[in-house]
Amino acid sequence: MFESLSEKLQRVFKDLRGQGKLSSENMEAALKEIRVALLEADVNFKVVKQFIANVREKAMGQDVLTALSPAQQVVKIVRDELTEILGSKHSKLQFASQPPTVVMVVGLQGSGKTTSTAKLARWLLKNSHSPQLVSVDVYRPAAREQLKVLAKQVGAGIYEGEPGMDKPLDLAVRARREAMDRGRDVLLVDTAGRLHIDDALMNELQQLKAQLNPTEILFVADAMTGQDAVKSAAEFHERLGITGVILTKLDGDARGGAALSIKYVTGQPLKFLGVGEKTEALEEFHPDRMAQRILGMGDVLSLIEKVEESIDQKQALEMQDKLLHNEFSLEDFRDQLIQVRKLGPLENILKMIPGMGDQLKGVKVDEKELTRIVAIINSMTPKERRNHMLINGSRRRRIARGSGSSVQEVNQLLKQYGQARKMMRSFSGMMGGPGGMPGGKMARRVQQLAKLGGGKLPF
């Protein structure tokens, strides 16, 4: 989402580093480029004005202009100001002292409320909570059925109501009572939306708030709508008093202005990010980590959290041992690729590694290649998978026929496998084992692997 903004900001910093020393003139030129980059990213103009003023005040001081590495000082100032605008610190979901905690999920129609409610339920389950869901959207056809399907998918409880029960307030009150009876500690209320804000919608939400006394009112904003999402969030906050924001569709091509504007305009923090369509595609929002991603500094903490959540630790230790003893076979290669896919889109994962952003330019991360690679490896005999040195010319032709590929593709895979052995060893080191390396070296390894694949990564 922030690719264009990130590229422009990194270009500004590169130009600053190229200056012999900083002066007020070249600093002003840099600030002008940063202002343009932020406005083109659809950041609210008031936010841009305040941001530039704060950076100018701190960057134009004598301590910065005469520092040994003034450009680095400016980067740090920009990072700190970005973090401040994004919310300064991680804002956690709040829970009531007496369960159940009631969370109202509100927003305009089409913003992703129902899916976000299910994602939040899955996140709560993962964090040892027992959520119950209820849809009080009695207007949109199949809205309640959609939430029922999603609740079943994530394994959360749901209150469906009784025959003839079609009043939002009745559904919510009975759902809370059932949550208490069943020992559920969180009630997620998926509310109705409209195509635009109107009095009927707000009156209904205000009645629900008065009756339920929710601990959290989370506004779901669609990042694709840019400043319209920010404006809607501000209006909802004025009329309802929201406590936080879930920003959805960050996996799309939105310019990112909503993420950088919403905290400043509403005064309420971003709490979660929707980064895909699947129910597991919900991330807690960390302002400092997002600022580092925008500036191309990577996000190792989030990467480690993803690895710990998605990768089988016992299998990872076994794999690390094989890598260190040069026993990493084609069978292990296949299994490792499947594990890596669990982390999410590989392009996003690689960008979390410091120094990787610039190195990935021109490299195509083709995730569809995984199916082809698995087919080729599965066409080998167990002995061939364990010892790739056995694979001579005739065996390569047989493997190609069995997998519906060409001999050239089999040759290419074997070359990629050889390079991947080195790269996977680097990854295992980064995750805490021996053999780790800085992000820049790892980025070069990825580039080498991509060259062998004709500019594509095979997973």
Q: What are phi and psi for residue 194, nearest 5 degrees?
A: -135, 170
Among the ranges 139-143, 203-207, 359-363, which has the highest mean pLDDT value?
Answer: 203-207
pLDDT for 155 equals 94
Supply the CATH classification number for the domain 311-457.
Answer: 1.10.260.30
pLDDT tens-digit readout, 56-103: 888 776 566 555 566 777 888 888 898 998 888 888 999 999 999 999
CA 135 to chain centroid, in Å, comes to: 26
Q: Where in the chain is the domain with CATH 3.40.50.300?
A: 101-297
Question: In sequence order, which residues have a C-beta less than 8 Å from that of residue 292 and are 6 or more positions away?
Answer: 79, 298, 299
In this structure, the chain runs to a length of 459
Domain with CATH 1.20.120.140 in the chain: 3-86
Domain 3-86 has CATH 1.10.3720.10: no
What's the pLDDT band for 310 if we cut at 50, 70, 90?
A: low
Query: What confidence score (pLDDT) does residue 64 get?
Result: 61
What are the phi and psi torsion angles at 36 (to 5°)?
-60, -40
Amino acid residing at 282: L
pLDDT tens digits for range 191-241: 998 878 888 889 999 999 999 999 999 999 988 888 888 889 999 999 999
Q: Are 132 and 247 in contact (CB under 8 A)?
A: no
**Structure tokens that stand for 4 in this block:** 């264009």
* Dmax (CA) of the chain: 76
Residue 226 gets the label, from left (phi > 0), alpha (psi -120 to 50) or beta, of left
pLDDT band at 133 (very low <50, low <70, confident <90, very high): very high
- Please report where in the chains the tokens 């909570």 appear, as a residue: 129
Q: What are phi and psi of 220, to 5 degrees?
A: -95, 115
Q: For the ranges 108-112, 177-181, 448-452, which has the lowest average pLDDT?
A: 448-452
In whole angstroms, what is the distance from residue 413 CA to residue 406 CA?
Answer: 11
Alpha-carbon distances, residue 254 vs 38, 46, 107, 247, 251 (angstroms) = 13, 20, 18, 11, 8
**pLDDT class of 454 with cuts at 50, 70, 90:** very low
For residues 143 and 279, give the distance between their C-alpha atoms in angstroms, rounded to a whole number: 17
Superfamily of structural domain 101-297: P-loop containing nucleotide triphosphate hydrolases (3.40.50.300)
Q: At what angle do helices 24-40 and 3-18 cross, to 10 degrees?
A: 170
Task: Convert the pLDDT of each residue in 407-439 to its tens digit.
Answer: 999 998 888 888 777 765 665 554 444 334 444
- Stronger pLDDT, 122 or 319, i.e. the higher one: 122
- CATH 1.10.260.30 segments of the chain: 311-457
Q: What's phi and psi for 189, nearest 5 deg?
A: -105, 110
